[in-house]
Structure 1
């Protein structure tokens, strides 16, 4: 098998669907396991992948092995599979707080490890993933894993010390954005718009605004100024947002998120 998943929850299924849709790996070359059998069977039926209850089978047969279980289960799973991990297997982690050094120590031997942090928009092929690797992984292997992850969104290489910031700015950030969309929709409903229409207007506006940042290359402040006409409605709204601590609230939330991630690494 080219690609194996130990753990087949929402994130893993989003990743699998993305790489299949992008034709990076065929469903026949993907194998997955999960403790929750109904969830695993559903994934096998809907995605057409091979499923198994045997984590060792996945670990011994996969060229790229993705550990998509919750961080609390990492040590247990690693102890189970460490004896069958081959020298050429690349292990990919997606757990916040699990450093390269910590994962390698859990294996008890030199293993090719790539640490990643994807986010839930991978479910619609618009994910943002950060990745870094230990010194056992070759440039060719890094390229192959990056290509695989690009099946469900954008991928950027980062230094490992940046991973806590990544958790705050992309890993956890969809939750903040969903709150923004919900608040925008509530504001539109307050002014008489139907709930369905309000949600569509809010979500499309957020999506389009993000696309403008990525595709124009302009600073977000420049794009904001383009919308703020002198004495107009937008600058009035911006004034009120600043008075309510809009930007500082987001920054403080991100700082708390990053601190939590750092503390998880120490536990």
Structure 2
């Protein structure tokens, strides 16, 4: 499969790394057009994919991704339209700010389009991506898009009205977890643990706890109850979190983003 991607910033770069790490996509089959910041050039030296400044080169691709800032999505579609409308190369935007309907206004109702919201763990093939497909997308194009994301982790098809909350939870959530892990490590360092070990233990604890929930299907509260024995140390820690408004702060973080 030949993949073309506009943009090699945080998300574009993460996707590129994930495809190459999967060993299913050769670097030579990845074509990237970067922006003015030079991140694509730096990443190309590390990973060896193909760089271009010519939009016309993308007409040789099997699928095209737009991983650029929201204001650039529609102008790029205007650039691509004359090149790809006869070959119907699937195009996927990974910007939360442009809907499939807006893309269709340029490409047409029957063009194979999708809007996807991946998160940064795609770079290690453990991403969580939500996707909205154009209503009239054909089976072959849909399978091509699905395959490209299957290489990066889990893919969930969602309705267009849920793309915002999905992006907030899956896309912004990793930053919240990173802050949580850093705070856990700080607490451990405060009590004498080596910094590197504290990060390692916190990260492994978070990932294994998440996997336990996924593999058992148990409610998070039930798993919490299994750790908090009567009068024990864990319930004292949970009480301290509740006293400081940990649960409300987390809910409010999601709600604040959605209302911004």
Distance 2:72 2:181 in 1: 33
Match of residue 147 from structure 1: 147
- Change in 2 beyond 3 A, CA 1:6/1:255: same
Distance 1:71 1:31 in 2: 21
Q: Which has the higher contact order (CA 8 A, sep 6+)?
A: 1
Match of residue 71 from structure 2: 72
Match of residue 46 from structure 1: 46
Q: How high is the TM-score relative to the length of structure 2?
A: 0.92
Match of residue 124 from structure 2: 124
Match of residue 115 from structure 1: 115
The range that moved more, 193-202 or 105-114, is 105-114
Verify the 8 A CA contact 1:167 1:258 in the aligned structure 2. Answer: no
Distance 2:223 2:232 in 1: 16
TM-aligned CA deviation for residue 110 of structure 1: 4.4
Match of residue 162 from structure 1: 162
Cα deviation, 1:102-134, whole Å, max 9, x if unaligned, reads: 122244664211110001111222211111101
Please state whether the residue corresponding to 1:227 is helix, strand or coil: coil
Match of residue 264 from structure 1: none
Cα deviation, 1:50-75, whole Å, max 9, x if unaligned, reads: 211012321x2222100011112223
Distance 2:54 2:73 in 1: 16
Distance 2:22 2:9 in 1: 20
The range that moved more, 15-24 or 170-179, is 15-24
Matched, 1:84 2:83: yes
Unaligned runs of 5+ in 2: none
Unaligned runs of 5+ in 1: 261-267
Match of residue 231 from structure 2: 231
Distance 2:123 2:243 in 1: 36
Match of residue 265 from structure 1: none
Verify the 8 A CA contact 1:35 1:53 in the aligned structure 2. Answer: no
Cα deviation, 1:192-228, whole Å, max 9, x if unaligned, reads: 2222221111111111111111112111111111111
Distance 1:24 1:160 in 2: 30
Match of residue 255 from structure 1: 255
Verify the 8 A CA contact 2:110 2:137 in the aligned structure 1. Answer: no
Distance 1:11 1:197 in 2: 29
Verify the 8 A CA contact 1:24 1:148 in the aligned structure 2. Answer: no
Please state whether the residue corresponding to 1:131 is helix, strand or coil: strand
TM-aligned CA deviation for residue 159 of structure 1: 1.2
The range that moved more, 215-224 or 109-118, is 109-118
TM-aligned CA deviation for residue 240 of structure 1: 1.6
Matched, 1:206 2:219: no
Superposed CA RMSD in Å reads 1.9
Match of residue 5 from structure 1: 5
Match of residue 63 from structure 1: 62
Please state whether the residue corresponding to 1:31 is helix, strand or coil: strand
Distance 1:70 1:193 in 2: 41
Distance 2:17 2:104 in 1: 28
TM-aligned CA deviation for residue 255 of structure 1: 1.3
- Paired residues for 1:95-106 under 5 Å: 95-106=95-106
Q: How high is the TM-score relative to the length of structure 1?
A: 0.90
- Paired residues for 1:30-45 under 5 Å: 30-36=30-36, 38-45=38-45
- Change in 2 beyond 3 A, CA 1:137/1:109: closer
